[in-house]
Amino acid sequence: MWRDHLTEIIVFTLLFLLVSAMGFVAARWRAPRDMAYLDEWGLGGRSFGGWITWFLVGGDLYTAYTFVAVPALIFGAGAAGFFAVPYTIVIYPLVFLVLCRLWSVSHRHGFVTPADFVRNRFDSPILALLVAITGIVATMPYIALQLVGIEAVLKTMGVTGDSALARHLPIIIAFAILAAYTYQSGLRAPALIAFVKDSLIYIVILVAVIYLPYKLGGWGDIFDAADAKFKASPAPGDGILLNANNQLQYVTLAFGSALALFLYPHSITGVLASKNRDVIKRNMSALPAYSLLLGLIALLGYMAIAAGVKPLPGAKAGSVDGNTVVPLLFDSQFPDWFAGVAYAAIGIGALVPAAIMSIAAANLFTRNIYKEYLKRDASPAQEANVSKITSLVVKVGAVACIVFLDPQFSIDLQLIGGVIILQTLPAVALGLYTRWFHRGALIAGWVAGMGLGMWMLYQVANPATGKKHFAGSAFPLEKFGFDTPKTIYVGIVAVLVNLAVAALLTLVLRAAKVADGVDGTTPDDYFADEGDPRVTPGTERDADAAPEPVA
């Protein structure tokens, strides 16, 4: 009953209202005289310095879903869940190599989305459209999954109901507030809220990893309890050590996830909001601190085993909701007021990435679908308004996914999203370094990679849940004819086929002397920095004519 959690509900509500107020105030924080430009509303005026970018990008990549799902995976599957730690370490050198160049060329030409860059680089509106649609489709389930974290907290506090409306009403209200201040403040809202969100998460996790081992008898007892649970399982998996059959899946999933993460539109949006290249370089050096935090968050799964946590029932009869493991751990081991702070950290942790993701998806629609195909002469103000409205539609769609779909299906959609977004790697990431690929070959590669990826995902079943298709991203190699029980991450296979098709067809098209368009960039565009004039302002203002921010 919710009355048993009254203190937790009060603390959660007060902190949630605090950050909501900050979201509305953000419209006047570092604001220009005119918000009727897409780079002001959707990129914060490209003016964020080191600290703001660190919290924004970090808060964007480490979400509420991460806070509850990574420990839940380790609670249920063991060592395989730690794949999230190496992939968040691998990502930063990759981002350093790629996104500094993307920032420079975007600053020089006024690009707001990665599809803008692809359109200009390869002179192909079709390829840009594919990149834009891919980004939007891959981002939508990611936004929906932020609601899974909030829902787990609300369920733990007893804030649920029998009907679908009663059960989801708190989430609908929370996202209505989020939609309102995002519409008003744009990217400045999540940038300001990220300070509070990340501070809360750091405090909660550091207290947990110091206090809980002391209360539970030490790390030795925690690992012994986890080891005993996995050995006693009727279907033994990894345990606290990685199973030999899962090592290939572990490595390819970690590397593939790293490649996918910096291709997501919301990751790129946070980086493009930086004011210069040095900000990005410093952040790529400092952001691994979040990986340390993620490793500590993951250990909460083993602590929950030692504490005897029993997940709450799931939506289906006889199922359990693993996402409630962390909230239940805090509920059982900490005073009510601190549990309320932890719940607020999870809830607020959903707001920052959800806001950035909806803005990124809206920017893609506005610049690469609306302006390219529906209204070529759209004014800057019209672009900004369309993006605001689209961000609202995206949030409504995310809420609908949670209300009308099984949350487990949403999780499966997110795994599919990683495979989908990887297919933009040749055009976006490699395109920043080379123009060698033919635009027609890149389109064919995208089709081949996407087609193979969807076929492989369709073949993935999960006997534990009864799903026969699209039940994960671990593809059994035996379906390729190999005599082995090992699995491999679908995304890696699909993007390798994508690259192979793109490379081979490029040779064919170049030999046939098929026209390849005009590259709209120059080599020095990829090293431009703050203060360099833009050569193609387009619908954006020239950098020298931008209004000064209001103090």
pLDDT of residue 538: 45
Report pLDDT for 482: 87
Q: Mean pLDDT over residues 79-108, rounded?
A: 87
Cα separation, 280 vs 284, in Å, equals 6
Those residues whose C-beta lies under 8 Å from the C-beta of residue 281, and which sit 6 or more positions away, are: 96, 100
Q: Give the type of residue at 358.
A: S
**Dihedral through CA 84, CA 89, CA 90, CA 93, nearest 10?**
150
Enter the tokens of residue 329. 């751990």
Q: Cα(490)–Cα(495) distance, rounded to whole angstroms?
A: 9
- Residue 184, token pair as written in the block: 């008003």
* Two tokens, residue 356: 């950035």
Q: In whole angstroms, what is the distance from residue 356 CA to residue 352 CA?
A: 6
Show Cβ contacts of residue 405 under 8 Å, excluding neighbours closer than 6 positions: none
Q: How far apart, in whole angstroms, are the C-alpha atoms of residue 174 and residue 532?
A: 41
**360-381 confidence digits (pLDDT tens):** 999 999 999 999 999 999 898 9
Q: Tell me the residue length of the chain.
A: 551
Answer yes or no: is pLDDT of 89 > 50: yes
Q: Which residue has the tokens 């089709």?
A: 447
Short-list 276, 286, 282, CA closest to 48: 276
Say what the pTM is.
Answer: 0.90
With CA atoms as reference, report the closest residue to 329 among 2, 72, 10, 65: 72
What are the pLDDT digits (tens) for 44-59? Answer: 888 888 888 888 887 7
Give residue 406's pLDDT.
63
523 Cβ partners below 8 Å, 6+ apart? none
Pick the closest to residue 456 from 506, 428, 418, 409 (CA basis).
418
Q: What is the arithmetic mean of pLDDT over 500-517?
A: 95
Output phi, psi for 487, to 5 deg: -125, 165
Give me the pLDDT at residue 446, please: 97
Closest C-alpha among 462, 44, 454 to residue 270: 44
- The answer to whether the CB of 423 falls within 8 A of the CB of 439 is no
Q: Of 233-242, 475-484, 538-547, which range is least confident?
A: 538-547
Residue 449 above 90 pLDDT? yes
pLDDT at 123 over 90: yes
pLDDT in tens, 528-542: 987 777 664 444 444
Q: Is the pLDDT of residue 550 over 70?
A: no
Residue 464 burial (C-beta neighbours within 10 Å; 0-12, 13-18, 19+): exposed
Residue 161 region by backbone torsions, left for phi larger than 0, else alpha for psi between -120 and 50, else beta: beta
Question: Is the pLDDT score of 15 beyond 80?
Answer: yes
Average pLDDT for the chain: 85
Average pLDDT over residues 224-242: 80
Which of 474, 513, 487, 405 minimizes the C-alpha distance to 145?
Answer: 405
Q: Which residues contact 386 (CB under 8 A, 6 or more apart)?
A: 362, 365, 366, 370, 378
pLDDT digits (tens, 9 = 90+) for 407-424: 555 566 677 889 999 999
Cα angle 27, 31, 33 (rounded to 5 degrees) comes to 115
Q: What is the largest CA-CA distance in the chain?
A: 74
Dist. CA 456–CA 504, nearest whole Å:
22
The pLDDT value recorded for residue 407 is: 59
Place of tokens 């002469």: 377
Instruction: Flag whether pLDDT at 485 surpasses 60.
Output: yes
Q: What is the CA radius of gyration of the chain?
A: 23
Most confidently modeled of 312-316, 350-354, 397-401?
Answer: 350-354
pLDDT tens across 260-292, in order? Answer: 988 999 989 989 999 999 999 888 888 887 778
pLDDT exceeds cutoff 70 at 164: no
Per-residue pLDDT averaged across 462-472, rounded? 75
State residue 535's pLDDT score.
61
Query: How many CA atoms are closer than 13 Å to the CA of 254, on its beta-carbon side?
Result: 17
For residue 543, give both structure tokens.
Answer: 């950098």
pLDDT at 548: 39
Q: What is the percent of the chain with per-residue pLDDT over 70, rounded to a whole number?
A: 90
Tell me what pLDDT residue 96 has: 82
Rounded average pLDDT over 357-361:
92
Distance between CA atoms of 128 and 263, rounded to whole angstroms? 14
